[in-house]
Chains A and B, each alone.
Chain A
Amino acid sequence: MSGAAILMMVLAMLVLWGGLGLAVWNLMTRSKAPEEHYRRDL
């Protein structure tokens, strides 16, 4: 693989998978409301 291709692949991974990681972290730590659980199948 060329250096440019490796660089763009790593960049795409960082942006999309890193973005997913940040989104999950945001949801776990910054949500205003505590999650409600339904106790049974509604």
Chain B
Amino acid sequence: MSGAANAGEEDVRRGAFSSRKVFILAAIGSAVGLGNIWRFPYVAYENGGGAFVLPYLVALLTAGLPFLLLDYALGHRARGSAPLSFRRTDRRTEPIGWWQVGICFVIAVYYAAVIAWAMRYTAFSFDRAWGDKPDEFLFTTFLQAGDPGVSLDVVAGVTIPLAVLWIAVLGIMAAGVQRGIGATAVVFIPILLVTFGVLVARALFLPGAAVGLDALFTPNWSALGQTSVWVAAFGQIFFSLSVGFGIMITYSSYVSRRTDMTGSGLVVGFANSGFELLAGIGVFAALGFMAQASGVGVDEVASSGLGLAFVAFPAIINEAPAGALIGVLFFGSLVLAGITSLVSVIEVVISAVRDKFELTRLAATIWVVTPSALLSLAFFSTTSGVYVLDIVDHFINRYGILVVAVVSMLAVTWLARALGVLADHMNSTGSVPLGAWWKVLIGAVTPVVLVVVLVSELIGDLGTPYEGYPTWMLWTFGWGMAIGVLAVALLASRIRWRPQTSLEPPEDSAVAAPEARR
């Protein structure tokens, strides 16, 4: 299959977003996830407060946006899933695409569980079902968590919403790129913005909100001299933008060939960071209220991740006027942000399976979503689910996403030597030209910075077992899982492509592939 006509036929076969606006909303929906709401505020607070704006902005401009544009270039030029895009860029880089697919599969399996928890907590908000002790309610009553280990005891309160969620995901994914993914983004993102905007407005009028904002934004300029603060800024930008693990490659392959991808990338990048700032304001206004109501400092109530969402916020909801409203808005926002991100993660896998085996959309969706749902239910709806989730999340983020990101940048730059053709492709329709600065950032600066982030994490994990979990659990669900994903990726890349699959970039791409020129 080759030629412009056939390239067009391939677009019809694979599906596409109906417009640039839908693509941008879908990309924002992917980037804006749970981490924007529950990770950024605490990272900023812990790393210099108001002074964190500086390293955060440097990280966004020198690493986040350039890497986002690399993903866009790979997918938009090659017009394939992550493995096919890498294959069409340079055959030797195909395993990187399968590595990303494996990572996305793992993330989808556990990410769905957190959304299911948020679904239950949205309902719990109406009657404040967690009572006076949200911590005890979460672990003992709701999750029924015992000692760390693997249990087969099913928790019905998690199983049912998780099953419902996977059925909804099946429907969205089967509906296709535009009618499923695109339509979900077009509906959910505006609702998320309104919902979270109302939440922030409500939080700002709580007594003590100014105390929380003061804690968040008071600059600690001496923090800028600490390496760890800069590492945290680059880590936050990297993890929140959904770059480096195939999502943006896949989404950009569904966009019209004449779309301004650099201009679109700037909108997505700043929208993601803008939402993080909004989340920081809303979360710390609420934490300030909590601190004042409890007669303690903000440092004693500030937290992140599961602790912030499922312990601190229920406590805030208990104390706040119209607390039920805050609860519905907060947990509803988590559900909306989570679903649009989950959809993007699972699409990476579906798209790759479709391309590799030339399956129909429906067949690929069933082949991917069914095992994902079964694994999700098996591991994360049991009484040990929270522990397995915590370990898998920690290790797949660091030794999956972070490593494959560095490898992909180095491989595209130094093995495939494709930055030139990728820049030419982006510049053919882009409003912001990618010049030598972009190649330097992608080929040297960003990989080096991410390696520093990775090494700092590695030192921590090798020095102390993560969260004190048993060694066998860390090796099975942590290191073993991360290594296993890489092994499966290498095997997947050995499977032959179907004869009808073109392994060259479509002819109407701006410039031919490097390997085609050799």
Q: Contact residue range for chain B?
A: 35 or more
Q: How far in angstroms is the closest Cβ of chain B from A22?
A: 8
Please, which residues of chain A bring their CB within 8 A of the CB of B17? 38
- B263 to A26, Cβ gap below 8 A? yes
- A16 to B277, Cβ gap below 8 A? yes
Q: How far in angstroms is the closest Cβ of chain B from A33?
A: 4
- A26 to B431, Cβ gap below 8 A? yes
B interface footprint on A8-29 (CB within 8 Å = 1, 0 otherwise): 1101110111011011101100
- A12 to B217, Cβ gap below 8 A? yes
Which of these, B51, B218, B266, contacts A23 with CB under 8 Å?
B266
Q: Contact residue range for chain A?
A: 20 to 34
Interface of A is mostly: helix
CA distance A9 to B217 in the complex (A): 6
A interface footprint on B416-445 (CB within 8 Å = 1, 0 otherwise): 000000000000011110000000000000
Which of these, A13, A36, A41, contacts B258 with CB under 8 Å?
A36
Cβ of B376 within 8 Å of any chain A Cβ, yes or no, is no
Please, which residues of chain A bring their CB within 8 A of the CB of B55? none
Please, which residues of chain A bring their CB within 8 A of the CB of B57? 15-16
CA distance A8 to B267 in the complex (A): 23
Q: How far in angstroms is the closest Cβ of chain A from B246?
A: 21
List residues 242-268 of chain B with CB under 8 A from any CB of chain A.
Answer: 256-260, 263-264, 266-267
Cβ of B69 within 8 Å of any chain A Cβ, yes or no, is no
Please, which residues of chain B bring their CB within 8 A of the CB of A8? 49-51, 53, 217-219
> Quick one: which of B12, B219, B269 has the most chain A CB within 10 A?
B219
**24 sampled A-B residue pairs with Cβ under 8 A:** A1-B213, A5-B50, A5-B213, A5-B217, A8-B218, A8-B219, A9-B216, A11-B50, A11-B53, A12-B50, A15-B57, A16-B57, A16-B274, A19-B274, A20-B270, A27-B266, A32-B260, A32-B429, A33-B258, A35-B19, A35-B259, A36-B19, A38-B178, A42-B178
* Chain B residues in the interface with A (C-beta under 8 A): 11-12, 14-20, 49-51, 53, 57, 176-179, 210, 213-214, 216-219, 256-260, 263-264, 266-267, 269-271, 273-274, 276-277, 281, 429-432
Closest CB pairs A-B (n = 4): A8-B50, A23-B266, A20-B270, A31-B260
